[in-house]
Amino acid sequence: MSLLVTGSIGIDTVRTPYGVSEECLGGSAIYFSMAASFFNPVRFVGVIGADCPYELSEVFAGRDVDLAGLEVRPQSKTFRWTGTYHEDMDERTTDRLELNVLAEAPPKVPVSFRDSKFVFLANTAPLLQLELLEQIREPVFVAADTMNCWIQEHTDDLKKLLKKIDCLIINEDEARLLACEQNLIKASQMILDMGPDEVVVKKGGSGSLLCSSDGEKFLLPAFPADDVKDPTGAGDSFAGGFMGYLAQKGKANFEILRTAVAYGTVTASFTINDFSLKGLTSINKSDIDDRLEALREMTRF
């Protein structure tokens, strides 16, 4: 079933204890699309400036990613992020952030994309997420990401958004911040009370937690990674695997959501194996399936 993503395209410079990757392609929509395209065709909505050194049609060559929603603004500059990961790879510092084109009006959803059924609204201002979502006629399942600054400074907008989406995908610290509650199980329930039917809490190297408004819970450890080079894009790759699998199945009951979380987990585990997109571009779907089965074997009892 159709799957649409709205999110950022960025030029990233990343330092980790394992090396430096300069001016590489990143951004939420990029990682999401690369990950989701293993499962389902992707409709891409995002905006860059004239300075972007990457040709996205080449980046996604051979993958079913429809770039009709890519807007290039000749007078603008592409979003740029420079960050450093520390020894504990679950923690990072933003060294430099240039919003550039992301500080302007968001791109429009092309008319041909407005019948999309599965929608992922990557992290941005909740008001923009709402504006983008309003352009989709009858979505079946909408998931969104958010972050600290929106939780703290755009709370009302975020709460409006939460009433319109089916699933919030959020980091554990953000979940605690949003719910004003330290206990993650209680925090998840409080987020469900704000609107969405599902909340996925990502805990980095500690796995993830899916809670449903009907009381069901699913807990999954992270795939055991002994070769983490660059965690950039892990969260958006998780969302890509998760939403890609749901769109492929065409529905999102709890049984399917469990497997979607597992696919999100293993897809993200490839992302962090290498810098930038290399972890995802060097594999195929059978590698993901093999790792899913390995994770299943390592978690059964």
Using CB under 8 A, list all residues that contact a copy of itself: 87-89, 182-186, 189, 203, 205-207, 209, 217-221, 224-226, 228, 258-259, 261-262, 295-296, 298-301
Q: Which is nearer to a copy of itself, 58 or 226 (CB)?
A: 226
Closest approach of Cβ 74 to a copy of itself, in Å?
Answer: 45
Q: Which is nearer to a copy of itself, 41 or 221 (CB)?
A: 221
d(CA 200, CA 241): 13
Q: Which is nearer to a copy of itself, 43 or 176 (CB)?
A: 176
Task: Please report the sign of the dihedral spanned by the C-alpha atoms of residue 190, residue 194, residue 200, residue 202.
Answer: negative
Closest approach of Cβ 296 to a copy of itself, in Å?
Answer: 7
Q: Which is nearer to a copy of itself, 127 or 194 (CB)?
A: 194
Q: Which is nearer to a copy of itself, 25 or 211 (CB)?
A: 211
Closest approach of Cβ 282 to a copy of itself, in Å?
Answer: 21
Q: Which is nearer to a copy of itself, 253 or 299 (CB)?
A: 299
Amino acid identity of 266?
V
Closest approach of Cβ 249 to a copy of itself, in Å?
Answer: 13
Closest approach of Cβ 63 to a copy of itself, in Å?
Answer: 26
Q: Which is nearer to a copy of itself, 90 or 157 (CB)?
A: 90
Closest approach of Cβ 82 to a copy of itself, in Å?
Answer: 23
**What is the DSSP track for the chain?**
--EEEE---EEEEEEETTEEEEEEEE-HHHHHHHHHTTTS-EEEEEEEETT----HHHHTTTS-EEEEEEEEETTS--EEEEEEE-SSTT-EEEEEEE-GGGGSPPPPPPGGGTT-SEEEE-SS-HHHHHHHHHT-SS-SEEEEE--HHHHHH-HHHHHHHHTT-SEEEEEHHHHHHHHT-SSHHHHHHHHHHTS-SEEEEE-GGG-EEEEETTS-EEEEPPP--S--S--TTHHHHHHHHHHHHHHHHT---HHHHHHHHHHHHHHHHHHTTSSTTHHHHT--HHHHHHHHHHHHHHH--
d(CA 158, CA 178): 10
Closest approach of Cβ 256 to a copy of itself, in Å?
Answer: 10
Closest approach of Cβ 71 to a copy of itself, in Å?
Answer: 38
Q: Which is nearer to a copy of itself, 159 or 186 (CB)?
A: 186
